[in-house]
Structure 1
């Protein structure tokens, strides 16, 4: 009778193993997202006056944006869309956001902390980052290849990209391909389609 029980238990374990192993293997396989390259190294100060570097995000999937708190045009849209991303992944310790100001002379740690509070940023890995202006512009333009600049003739005095960068747990910028099979490089932070796409791809990277 005992032998029959052992045989039954062994059979159940075997079946479970056949079912579970492929799922476990799949969980740690790379997704179909393209590797663009390593995220540029950075060291900035967050809303809590704490130094945050790219190394602090290792082991996390995170989204990078460039913005400024007094932006009257695209930033409010980007802010609301980023809040939606926060809500989707709230409570996940391996997810984060890096919001880097392009107006650091105004956007001090204190200003960013107040901005984060008003905005409703609650995820513990959402850092609002400031630092030296020249350093930040170099990071945006040469590091991420995302436009950021001053322009006294535009509303708000600054111009910047409305795109979001997606970085995986190993510190590599990743993206999906478009309908022509070309890497999109970055995600549209202004349109619902772009936000839907980045949410889907964050989930893929969290499973890697």
Structure 2
């Protein structure tokens, strides 16, 4: 017999064996409705079939570890104790300011209010927040912060204006915890915002060199577009990145 005939016989034997072993199992699965088709699969939202979409935002990595928000405990404008755990499950912005600041703080908080208003109509609005830490806790009491919040139009219940016992704990939190410059001795601070995801990790876009930006410029408004030094506004960018993290 020719070799080709042996090949045909071998193939036929394999097909017969497959039919004997697997066809009954396939028929049984079809009867039990265990077989689905990927091409036209329907999704049941009530059973949470949809998967979360991971964003491409970077983590801040230090010594090989993703940097997470440190533990903190402060009093907000309503006299309530707020800790880092209250923000878990929320995407939030962090700023450092003080209520009597006449220069960059009003601009920063107007920009934060504009972000608040842009996100107001989203279904995920309840999962967005702001943590505004005062660098002058001696004078920025909860009552003072409450008046300040009302004057600026703070409506988000997850926007907490926070005051502590000592300016030194604020110094450590800002410079070490969030990598945002604050000099509590001279009442100086940057106008930058940090962005935190739902799990409490610091996140941001990449810069032109492929590294995490770490923070976002909070002083320049969308209307201004660019400042006198040629720096472009990053509020639009920040809103886009908040929306991205809300979907994770």
Q: TM-score, normalised by structure 1?
A: 0.84
- Please, which of 172, 180, 194 is the counterpart of residue 234 of structure 2? 194
Tell me the residue number matched to 1:164. Answer: 193
Q: Cα offset for 1:68? A: 0.3
Indicate the SS of the match to 2:241. helix
Task: Give CA deviations for 1:142-193 in whole Å, capped at 9, x if unaligned.
Answer: 21121112455xxxxx110110000000011100012322211100001232
What CA distance in whole angstroms lies between the structure 1 residues aligned with 2:107 and 2:144? Answer: 19
Matched, 1:49 2:49: no
Task: Give CA deviations for 1:47-80 in whole Å, capped at 9, x if unaligned.
Answer: 0110000100000000000000000110011011
Indicate the SS of the match to 1:93. helix
Matched, 1:15 2:16: no
- Bigger Cα Rg: 2
Runs of 4+ in 1 over 3 A off after TM superposition: none
Give the count of matched residue pairs: 187
CA RMSD of aligned residues (A): 2.1
What CA distance in whole angstroms lies between the structure 2 residues aligned with 1:151 and 1:137? Answer: 9
CA contact (8 A) 2:74 2:162 kept: yes
Q: Cα offset for 1:24? A: 2.9
Tell me the residue number matched to 1:104. Answer: 137
More strand by share: 1
Task: Give CA deviations for 1:101-157 in whole Å, capped at 9, x if unaligned.
Answer: 0011110001000100111101111000000221111111221121112455xxxxx
Alignment of 1:1-208 (within 5 A): 15=40, 17=42, 24-25=50-51, 28-36=52-60, 37-90=67-120, 92-132=125-165, 133-150=167-184, 158-191=187-220, 192=222, 193-208=233-248
Indicate the SS of the match to 1:38. coil
Residues 55 and 151 from structure 1, CA distance in 2 versus in 1: closer, same or farther, beyond 3 angstroms? closer
Task: Give CA deviations for 1:79-109 in whole Å, capped at 9, x if unaligned.
Answer: 1100111101226111100101001111000
Structure ranking higher on relative contact order (CA contacts 8 Å, 6+ apart): 1
Q: Cα offset for 1:30? A: 1.8
Q: Flag structure 1 segments of 5+ consecutive residues without an equivalent.
A: 1-10, 153-157
